Amino acid sequence: MFSGSIVALVTPFRDGEVDYDALGDLIEFQIAAGTAGILPCGTTGESATLSHEEHDRVVEFVVKAVRGRVPVIAGSGSNATREALRLTAHAREAGADAALVITPYYNKPTQRGLIAHFELLAREVEIPIVIYNVPGRTGVSIAPETVAALAANPRIVAIKEASGSLEQVSQIISRCGITVLSGDDSLTFPMMALGARGVVSVAANILPGRVAAMTAAFLGGDIAAARAIHYEIYDICRILFVETNPIPVKAALAMMGRIREEYRLPLCPMGDENRARLRKALEGAGLV
């Protein structure tokens, strides 16, 4: 369940509402291209601007649309443990295969607070939990020692590591057997060289086949092929973060004709200069 290319799926909007027709089409696009897992309601899915009702319905829709063909890992984190508990319990009730739980943002808990947060969720909800470490978004980083302590819990099975630090990855893998997944597309290949098992990918929204092929090649022992794909898609991976995620990837999907380009404030459309750079990169990759 926790290896290969897992897409951090965007949430398409139309006239201010979730566009479920487009969402269903995106799911089919991913599965047909060989994506190993679908992750709705993460950062890329603009979970921060979804209402609780929308969040629940998106998870339910994705589980039903996927129909067990690949695992569904539902985003269910929050800065409040009580809210994260409700979202994680709903993910289980909806039939998700696992829950992605971000380190609580804004309130900057201590490492003891992080342990208490994740252990409560693991104790209360019978579902595999993937820790999500992205200090650039949350203001707090989970220490390798804390990850190792949490990894002793059989329900805490993986970590999406998006600190941008290969030292952090090395420290985690040297301390425990938890599955590590890249949370940075441009670092997936080097992280897998350190022992990561795959990626929760933004780039897979537009390049599902190539990201799947890269991770499959590495896991299959063809390191040279994986390295070649890494460099093939590297520039695209970088351009997708020229502005705040998911602004560029949603703009790219719109250029590809797969969704309407629509965001919820405070996210807004790309600036003209970056939009031109993005289009040029997509044209160079043969995507538009």
Residue pair 146/168 in contact (Cβ under 8 Å)? The answer is: no
What is the rounded distance in angstroms from the CA atom of residue 194 to the CA atom of residue 210? 21
* Element housing 207 (H / E): none
Report the relative pairing of strands 13-14 and 17-18 from DSSP bridges.
Answer: antiparallel
What is the rounded distance in angstroms from the CA atom of residue 170 to the CA atom of residue 275? 36
What is the rounded distance in angstroms from the CA atom of residue 73 to the CA atom of residue 64? 13
What is the rounded distance in angstroms from the CA atom of residue 250 to the CA atom of residue 252? 5
pLDDT in tens, 44-91: 999 999 999 999 999 999 999 999 999 999 999 999 999 999 999 999
Q: Which pair of structure tokens corresponds to residue 10?
A: 């965007």
pLDDT of residue 60: 98
Give the strands of the sheet with 156-161, arranged side by side. 37-39, 4-8, 198-201, 179-182, 156-161, 129-133, 98-102, 73-75
Average pLDDT, the chain: 97
pLDDT in tens, 234-284: 999 999 999 999 999 999 999 999 999 999 999 999 999 999 999 999 999
What is the rounded distance in angstroms from the CA atom of residue 39 to the CA atom of residue 86? 18
Cβ atoms within 10 Å of 59's Cβ, excluding its own = 25
What is the rounded distance in angstroms from the CA atom of residue 118 to the CA atom of residue 104? 10
Annotated catalytic residue, options 64, 105, 108, 160: 160
Annotated catalytic residue, options 132, 231, 263, 280: 132
Locus of tokens 């997509």: 282
Q: Which of 176, 189, 259, 246 is nearest to 222 (CA)?
A: 189
Q: How confident is the model at residue 204 (pLDDT cuts 50, 70, 90)?
A: very high
Residue range 183-193: mean pLDDT, rounded? 98
CATH superfamily of 4-220: Aldolase class I (3.20.20.70)
Is the model's pLDDT at 1 over the cut of 90?
no
Q: Which pair of structure tokens corresponds to residue 31?
A: 């599965």
**Is 160 assigned a catalytic role?**
yes
Q: How is residue 162 annotated by DSSP?
A: -
Q: How confident is the model at residue 169 (pLDDT cuts 50, 70, 90)?
A: very high
**Is 234 assigned a catalytic role?**
no
Is the model's pLDDT at 144 over the cut of 90?
yes
